């Protein structure tokens, strides 16, 4: 009897895997290491120092961009997660309906379409609204980020709903519980890990976004990633490495929390 194909047993698999990991993570390791460089150079080591972390902490432009990024990411994660919960309920807690597959594709459209296409379409749409209303506030960025983050919040919430036992919800309905009461007292407590995981994933995606922000933002609305992009065009110092390392640490912490919250307990 022929043995099942196992890619891990193929010649050279280990060497290729190690090479891939080195190419993926070595630049990140160097980025973190040179964020502690005492000198101005981003490629020549001149001693260990927290100088650039202190510089970034005291930089008023970085402070303003960080606050703006957090405000946008919080707003986008709340809106995207709320919409994702409703979408997940509509696609998992109802009888199959015509067009359900199309609705699923539309919800996940930002994942399938290149981000630059989404950014250009949002730019055109919001530009018309800005002309009509004269409003140029942060809500454009919050709405744009929300639209882009919905599928990232939707997937873990939908997966959580699909893994939940329906018997408790059915029992609640048999005891004359209204749909709202059944959701509030039975579904929601079980769904919370998925909601939190989706919200954190949406927060990280919004916090790190550059393309959509660069196209939609108005003057004076730099977020932390777009501020870093602007600095790279002017004067590159290890301060950029320090900011990148801080963002990396936040992303790793949130993604790790997302992983543990997404796991279904036996």
CA pair distance 195, 185, nearest whole angstrom: 15
- What per-residue confidence (pLDDT) applies to 137? 86
Query: Is 30 part of any domain?
Result: no
- What per-residue confidence (pLDDT) applies to 145? 94
CA pair distance 131, 117, nearest whole angstrom: 22
Q: How many domains does the chain have?
A: 1
Radius of gyration of the chain from Cα atoms? 23
Query: Is 226 part of any domain?
Result: yes
CA pair distance 203, 261, nearest whole angstrom: 15
Query: Is 2 part of any domain?
Result: no
Best CA proximity match to 83, nearest among 178, 144, 147: 147
Residue 249: both structure tokens together: 């640490």
φ, ψ of residue 136 to 5 degrees: the values are -130, 30
Query: Is 35 part of any domain?
Result: no
- What per-residue confidence (pLDDT) applies to 78? 95
* First-residue to last-residue Cα distance in the chain: 36
Print the domain residue range for 116: 59-262
Residue 59: both structure tokens together: 């930089």
Query: Is 28 part of any domain?
Result: no
Residues 6+ apart with CB under 8 A from 206: 72, 73, 76, 77, 80, 145, 148, 149
CA pair distance 209, 201, nearest whole angstrom: 12
Query: Is 17 part of any domain?
Result: no
Q: Specify the CATH number for the domain of residue 246.
A: 1.10.3720.10
Beta bridge partners of 48: 37
The residue behind tokens 């509030």 is 184
Residue 123: both structure tokens together: 């730019």
Do 55 and 181 meet the contact criterion of CB atoms below 8 Å apart?
Answer: no
Is 102 buried (19+), middle (13-18) or exposed (0-12) by CB count in 10 A? exposed
CA pair distance 52, 9, nearest whole angstrom: 46
pLDDT in tens, the chain (266 residues): 556 767 777 777 788 889 998 998 898 888 888 888 888 877 788 888 888 888 888 888 888 999 999 999 999 999 999 999 998 888 887 777 777 778 888 888 888 888 899 899 999 999 999 889 888 888 999 999 999 999 999 988 988 888 877 777 778 777 777 778 888 888 888 888 888 888 988 998 998 889 999 999 888 888 988 888 888 777 777 888 888 888 888 888 877 877 776 664 44
Query: Is 37 part of any domain?
Result: no
Query: Is 34 part of any domain?
Result: no
- What per-residue confidence (pLDDT) applies to 3? 66
**Other Cβ atoms within 10 Å of 262 Cβ, number:** 20
What's the CA angle centered on 66, arms 78 and 60, to 5 degrees?
A: 150
CA pair distance 43, 250, nearest whole angstrom: 24
CA pair distance 193, 160, nearest whole angstrom: 8
In our burial notation (b when 16+ CB lie closer than 10 A, e otherwise), range 35-73 reads bbbeeeebeeeeeeeebbbeebeeeeebebbbebbbebb
């Amino acid at each position: 009897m022929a043995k099942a194909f196992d890619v891990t047993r193929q010649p050279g698999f280990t060497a290729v895997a190690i090479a891939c990991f080195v190419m993926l993570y070595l630049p990140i390791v160097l980025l973190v290491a040179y964020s502690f460089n005492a000198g101005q150079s981003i490629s020549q080591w001149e001693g260990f120092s927290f100088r650039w972390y202190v510089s970034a902490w005291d930089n008023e432009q970085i402070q303003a961009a960080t606050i703006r990024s957090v405000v946008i990411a919080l707003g986008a994660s709340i809106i995207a997660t709320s919409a994702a919960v409703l979408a997940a309920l509509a696609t998992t807690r109802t009888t199959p309906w015509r067009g359900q597959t199309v609705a699923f594709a539309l919800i996940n459209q930002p994942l399938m379409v290149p981000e630059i296409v989404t950014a250009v379409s949002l730019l055109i749409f919001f530009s018309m609204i800005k002309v009509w209303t004269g409003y140029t506030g942060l809500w454009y960025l919050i709405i744009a980020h929300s639209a882009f983050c919905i599928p990232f919040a939707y997937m873990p919430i939908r997966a959580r709903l699909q893994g939940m036992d329906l018997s408790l919800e059915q029992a609640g309905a048999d005891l004359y519980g209204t749909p709202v009461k059944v959701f509030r007292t039975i579904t929601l407590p079980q769904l919370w890990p998925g909601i939190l995981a989706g919200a954190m994933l949406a927060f990280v995606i919004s916090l790190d976004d550059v393309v959509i922000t660069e196209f939609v933002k108005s003057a004076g609305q730099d977020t932390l990633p777009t501020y870093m992009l602007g600095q790279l065009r002017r004067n590159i110092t290890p301060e950029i490495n320090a900011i990148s390392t801080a963002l990396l640490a936040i992303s790793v912490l949130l993604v790790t929390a997302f992983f543990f919250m997404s796991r279904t307990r036996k």
